[in-house]
Amino acid sequence: MYKIVRKEVLSPVIKLFEIEASHVSENAKPGQFVVLRTDEKGERIPLTIADFNREDGTVTIIIQEVGRSTKELGKLEEGDYVVDFVGPLGKATEIEKLGRVVCVGGGVGIAPVFPIARALKEAGNEVISVIGARTKELLFWEEKMADVSDQLYVCTDDGSYGHKGFVTDVIKQVAEDVEVEHVWAIGPMPMMKAVAATTKPLELKTTVSLNPIMLDGTGMCGACRVSVGGETKFACVDGPEFDAHEVDFELAARRLAYYQDDEHRVEAATNHSDGGACKCHEK
Amino acid sequence: MSRKVKTKHEMPVQDSKERITNFDEVALGYNEEKALAEANRCLECKVPNCMKGCPVEINIPKFIGAIKQKDYKEAIREIKTKNSLPAVCGRVCPQEAQCEKYCVIGKKGDPVGIGRLERFVADWEFANENSSSSMEVGEPTGKKVAIVGSGPAGLTAAGDLAKMGHSVTIFEALHVPGGVLMYGIPEFRLPKDIVQKEIDKIKELGVDIKVNYVVGKAGSVKDFLENGYDAVFVGTGAGLPYFMNIPGENLNGVYSANEFLTRTNLMKAYQFPDYLTPVKVGKRFAVIGAGNVAMDAARCALRLGAEESYIVYRRSEEEIPARAEEIEHAREEGVKFLLLTSPVEFHGDENYNLNSMTCIEYELGEPDDSGRRRPIPIEGSEYKMDVENVVLALGQGPNPLVPSTTPGLDLTKKGNILTNDETGVTSIQGVFAGGDIVTGAATVIEAMGAGKKAARAIDEYIKSTN
């Protein structure tokens, strides 16, 4: 059992949990992830590490409530426990001094891009960060990102905060204005695909952190397999970071959608037990 | 006298029509009467051949002798001096290739049902909790052993080392211990509460099990040696699934056997949506391969609602590697066998969901290195078959997590750990290994045998390093 020592509600659907797990925090590096299970009937879900504190033995994760498991997790409070917390998993980000780099976080992807930006900054890079979300409500950690960046751009699709528009607009502009060595982008699959499409013609080296379906997260099943440069890779052990210009995003997006109807069934079951508006027992 | 009974006493099983509607155990086990009758078929040979076939050296005539006396407590005590997992072994060992293969009366009839009797006494112990404590722990030695992986090899080594008085900690990557016993072998062959009970017995010996601990990511083998452990045993198994590397393999609906079985067994996807992990099984389901894992997957599919479940295998009936009993059970349940056939390409719809595969037919040529006749594709025999799900059960490779993070550990070309067969000694002092990580995918009991040998060698090693 792993204790939640801090919870912060970042928006109605985005929540931060700091969880006691010294075996993870001792070894955690930027770019890695954990697999978490909320309770005995729960599923194993992968979450990228947003921060870690070796002294306190804690790991920070940020979730967006998108389905049953994240909603169940979202209900937990400080002092509650999750049954399983495994990590650190996956390969760490390769951090080196490159010069000027761009770190892009889309939506809940802001969380995992933060430790990468911080490490890149500490390694002596000039860090330009771009964070974006659909709307103001879904933005968080603007200050934290500003602290580890030389420049920070904020945008929302609907213009409710910061620049109106997509992160890709900003990336394009930045790359036109100054010399950039490398881009890291983490966010929803369509956003990472759009970033890759933006930087490819500019021949700007780009790394994305893929978020396929995972089960064990240790390389024993291949649920998370992705196609990179025409080769099959397991995101949990070979990644999760890959060269964005080599990733088959179409395949990745389709694989992510495979259980959509099951996810809806689970949601319907939850709504029903909550006395909600489920119509599952009506004709 | 019952010694004249030439056939093994039948074990009652759930009816095949009924059992494909549930995940309950298929084989129901002997009652006392049947167990006594079967035990009485044993001649209690002075020089028992059967023992030669048991990788963990159980004194078979002795425990069967105790059954004859109705002293079940003594029977289980005798077994447990050698075997920490009898309820498991009695169920999943391929006895026909081990103990029962050497049984004398097997020459003129059926061998004694040794596995069924072992299962009977193990289950008797669970049913009679008060009479338990059949394992004794030696004087504490103050020595610490770390065990990586809690499958059959690790559990056996842990149990034996604890009995020798050593302080043992198991590190397990998944959220429950048991390895393949928990994630791989389905509930209907090996109920998970039975495995859990046996693991609890091992814990009663003082073995500490740390789950959710991925050695190689959170700490390494070297860390253990530097942080107070006197020895390390690596029993991480063969958990790396093989794929076919043919077009369409990454389509939705194509599972590795590991993924399909882990979802179904470990995560209890058969109880979805009560349990939150989903698994998809369409109307037509095909398993590629014909080992025990393939049979398990094909039988799970029927229980999960597949209308047709196929075993697709590129050799013939004769070469099928699964146990005869598993093949028979699969057939009874309606699994169909498509032999001398293998897919060459998978096809999907616009959503990348699998909907068919192109298969090619084979004929058998000369025997290959393994002694099995080599399958040769028949040119022009390709045909398309509709299928919504495919499980690839082509075997597994060694899990690379520990080897790749343990510098100085000598490996085979395939990535298995090189050891001395008798002792499990590796190229690093204080590090031992056994089970599938050494041999490649094999059987539960062979892994247990390796765990047992390594425990003995570890005991000698740490005593010598005083």
Nearest CA in chain A to B402: A218
Give the Cα separation of B87 and B189 in Å (integer): 12
A253-263 confidence digits (pLDDT tens): 999 999 998 88
B108-141 confidence digits (pLDDT tens): 899 999 999 999 999 999 898 765 555 778 889 9
B190-230 confidence digits (pLDDT tens): 999 999 999 999 999 999 999 999 999 998 999 999 999 99
B101-112 confidence digits (pLDDT tens): 999 999 889 999
Chain B residues with CB under 8 Å of A67 CB are none
Handedness of CA B106, B112, B116, B121 (dihedral sign): negative
Between chains, do B173 and A216 touch, taking CB under 8 Å as contact? yes
Name the residue type at position A236: C
DSSP assignment of A205-255 equals: -EEEE-----SSSSSSS-TTEEEETTEEEEHHHH-SEEEGGGB-HHHHHHH
Residues B432/B425, Cβ–Cβ less than 8 Å:
yes
Residues A78/A6, Cβ–Cβ less than 8 Å:
yes
- The domain covering B144-239+398-465 belongs, at the CATH homologous superfamily level, to FAD/NAD(P)-binding domain (3.50.50.60)
Nearest to A215 among B211, B262, B400 (CB): B262
Round the CA-based radius of gyration of chain B to a whole number and report it.
23
Name the residue type at position A134: R
Of B43, B69, B189, B177, which is closest to residue B119 (Cα–Cα)?
Answer: B189
Chain A residues with CB under 8 Å of B219 CB are 23, 26-27
pLDDT at B199: 95
B303-318 confidence digits (pLDDT tens): 999 999 999 999 999 9
Domains recognised in chain A with CATH numbers: 2-89 (2.40.30.10), 93-209 (3.40.50.80), 210-275 (no CATH)
Residue span(s) of chain B under CATH 3.50.50.60 come to 144-239+398-465, 243-392
Spell B103-130 as b/e; 16+ CB within 10 A means b.
bebbeeebbbbbbbbbbbbbbbbeeeee
Decide: residue B308, CB within 10 A, 0-12 exposed, 13-18 middle, 19+ buried.
middle
For domain B243-392, which architecture applies? 3-Layer(bba) Sandwich (3.50)
Give the Cα separation of B328 and A278 in Å (integer): 45
Classify the complex by whether its ipTM is higher than 0.95, answering yes or no: no
Give the Cα separation of A258 and B349 in Å (integer): 12
Helix (H) / strand (E) element for A111: namely: helix A110-122
The mean of the pLDDT values for chain B is 93
Between chains, do A219 and B400 touch, taking CB under 8 Å as contact? yes
B226: Cβ–Cβ under 8 A, 6 or more apart, which residues? Answer: none
pLDDT at B4: 62
Residue identified by tokens 């052990």 is: A237
B145-161 confidence digits (pLDDT tens): 999 999 999 999 999 99
Give the Cα separation of A207 and A169 in Å (integer): 18
A85-134 confidence digits (pLDDT tens): 999 999 999 999 999 999 999 999 999 999 999 999 999 999 999 999 99
Nearest to B219 among A27, A44, A262 (CB): A27
Between chains, do B218 and A26 touch, taking CB under 8 Å as contact? yes
pLDDT at B369: 81
pLDDT at B133: 53
Annotated binding site of A for [2Fe-2S] cluster: 221, 224, 236
Give the Cα separation of B294 and B261 in Å (integer): 10
User: What do you get for the CA distance between the two ends of chain A, in Å?
Assistant: 42
| pLDDT band for position A53 (cuts 50, 70, 90) | very high
State which CATH number among 1.10.1060.10, 1.10.645.10, 1.20.58.1910, 3.30.43.10 fits the domain covering B16-131: 1.10.1060.10
For chain A, the farthest-separated pair of C-alpha atoms sits apart, in whole angstroms, at 63
State the SS3 of B349-390: CCCCEEEEEEEEEEEEEEECCCCCEEEEECCCCCEEEECCEE
pLDDT at B1: 46
B56-108 confidence digits (pLDDT tens): 889 999 999 999 999 999 999 999 988 989 999 999 998 988 999 999 999 88
pLDDT at B130: 64
**Tokens at residue A257, please?**
């959608």
Residues A217/A203, Cβ–Cβ less than 8 Å:
no
